[in-house]
Amino acid sequence: MESIAAAIFLEEDGNASENADAKVERRRLRDMCDPFQMSDELFKKNFRLNKDAFKYVLDTFAEETQQSTLTSLSPLNRVVAALRFFAEGSYQHGVGTDYNVGMGQSTVSKSLSHFLEVMQRKLCPEWIKFDQSEEEKIQAKQEFYAKASFPGVIMCVDGTHIKIVKPSEEGFLYYNRKGFYSINAMVVCDNRMRIKSIDARYPGCNHDSHVWGLSKLRSHMERRYREGERNAWLLGDAGYPLQPWLMTPYRSVSQGSPQSNYNMRHSTTRNIVERTIGVLKNRFRCLLGARELHYSPHKVSQIINVACALHNICIYYKVGDLNANEFNFESRQEEEEEEQSSDPDYTSIANRIRDNILATF
């Protein structure tokens, strides 16, 4: 294959001195590109999806872009630019020796916005679904039980902070206890590391328990409990409230005690959600703590949501994990305080459930 010198150009479209020749050259560079000529390994490294997953995303996007005002860009150009952003968090990074697309900064920004709007509307409802069939629940319980003999688990929940620049409005709300500005995103995964729910609406000052308390998922779980569902719960760390549908660790336990044994099994089983978040952030490095997203909170929420849908697409299309050497897992620090359920009856019931689980070990 004839090699093409590689870079994604981040140039200012708004510069009045830019001449027509430069614009023509950009168009020429875009038109001559074919990323599918890359080797499978290089393709996955650059776009984080394999070719089958990429084609699915491209086809989905193309169906919705017939009326786009970005007439100079093909759907392929726009998907390439967006996925390069998701992969690296920067348009300035080269994409290898086999691909080249010239694109100005304002064009890239408009293209990314369009991609996010379409993908959130089309991909997220299709690929991020909390509901499970009875067969899926049974399978989840069996696979979670096999980890550490912890019964009844259907999913696990955790929060993760996505770093952003200080918003122009109410920026203080986004300053978290770790010392930076962020969105606190609640992630729920199943036994196969599929993301079943994502809530990326809240500023970083909010604790995990607050995000959980305002989530549609909590209301959904409570409704299922009221309708008679039993022996099916999520696992969350000590930052979450103990509820009949959400099991958390015991607090202030003695080493070697039954409660300590419970906590160890709980942590071993729940670890999958931390690994899921690690895979998500390391696959789509725009979410990594080493970077900060220079967008409004609304747009950052879109980026997080679409990244979660793409994560699930990667699992479906068997993209596989990235090179372990590329991984850069962030240290995880649990929330300091556990909030109790606002309903004392639920708290009492949840304590009995947790004690009953402990008695099975």
Q: Tens digit of pLDDT for each residue in 298-326?
A: 999 999 999 999 999 999 999 987 654 45
Does pLDDT of 191 surpass 90? yes
Residue 227 lies in a domain: yes
Place of tokens 């599929």: 194
Average pLDDT, the chain: 86
Is residue 334 very low, low, confident or very high in pLDDT (cuts 50, 70, 90)? low
Of the three residues 62, 87, 122, the one that is the final residue of a domain is: 122
Lowest model confidence (mean pLDDT) among 24-28, 29-33, 301-305, 351-355: 24-28
Using the structure block, give the residue that is written with the tokens 């299309």: 317
Q: Does residue 32 lie within any of the structural domains?
A: yes
pLDDT top residue among 258 and 320: 258
3 state DSSP class of 195? strand
pLDDT at 1 over 60: no
Residues 145 and 179 placed together within one structural domain of the fold: yes
Q: Assess whether 102 and 135 both reside in one domain.
A: no
- Does one domain contain both 114 and 142? no
* Domain endpoint, select from 79, 106, 122: 122
Residue 150 has pLDDT above 70, yes or no: yes
Question: Is residue 143 situated within a structural domain?
Answer: yes
* φ/ψ of residue 255, rounded to 5: -60, 135
| Bigger pLDDT: 32 vs 318 | 318
Q: Are residues 305 and 159 in the same domain?
A: yes
What pLDDT shows up at residue 8? 40
Q: How far is CA 259 from CA 253, 262, 357, in A?
A: 6, 5, 10
Residue 110 within a domain: yes
Residues 243 and 304 reside in one and the same domain: yes
Residue 3 lies in a domain: no
Residue-level pLDDT at 70: 57
Q: Which pLDDT score is estimated for 332?
A: 55
Asked whether residue 197 falls in the same domain as residue 294, the answer is yes
Across residues 174-181, what is the average pLDDT?
A: 96
In the chain, % of residues over pLDDT 90 = 71
pLDDT at 13: 42
Determine the structural domain holding residue 102 and report its residue range.
20-122
Please check whether residue 6 lies inside any domain of the structure.
no
339 with 200, same domain: the answer is yes
Q: Are 239 and 209 in contact (CB under 8 A)?
A: yes
DSSP state for residue 307 in the 8-state scheme: H
Render 267-300 in DSSP notation, one character per residue.
Answer: HHHHHHHHHHHHHHHHHSGGGSTTS-B-S-HHHH
Q: Tell whether the model's pLDDT for residue 20 goes beyond 70.
A: no
Q: Are 102 and 141 contained in the same domain?
A: no
Instruction: Determine, yes or no, domain membership for 14.
Output: no
Assess whether 95 and 240 both reside in one domain: no
The pLDDT of residue 9: 37
The answer to whether residues 141 and 154 touch, using CB atoms and an 8 Å cutoff, is yes
Quote the pLDDT of residue 343.
74
Tell me, yes or no, whether 12 lies in a domain: no
Averaged over 110-129, what is the pLDDT?
95
**pLDDT at 337 exceeding the cut of 70:** no
Q: Quick one: 39 and 91 in the same domain?
A: yes
- How many Å separate Cα 43 from the centre of its chain? 21
pLDDT score for 72: 67
Report the C-alpha gap between 301 and 271 in whole angstroms: 24
Residue 159, pLDDT above cutoff 60: yes
Structural domains of the chain, count: 2
Domain end, chosen from 122, 143, 161, is at: 122
Quick one: 242 and 115 in the same domain? Answer: no
pLDDT at res. 167: 97
What pLDDT, on the 0 to 100 scale, is given for residue 106?
Answer: 75
pLDDT (tens digit per residue) in 53-110: 999 999 999 988 765 555 567 899 899 999 999 998 875 444 333 344 566 677 778 8
pLDDT attached to residue 14: 44
Q: Are residues 115 and 166 in the same domain?
A: no
**CA 23 to each of CA 5, 26, 98: distance values in angstroms, whole numbers, following the listed order:** 18, 5, 22
| Across 236-250, average pLDDT | 97
Distance CA 214, CA 241 (A): 13
Mean pLDDT of 240-244: 97
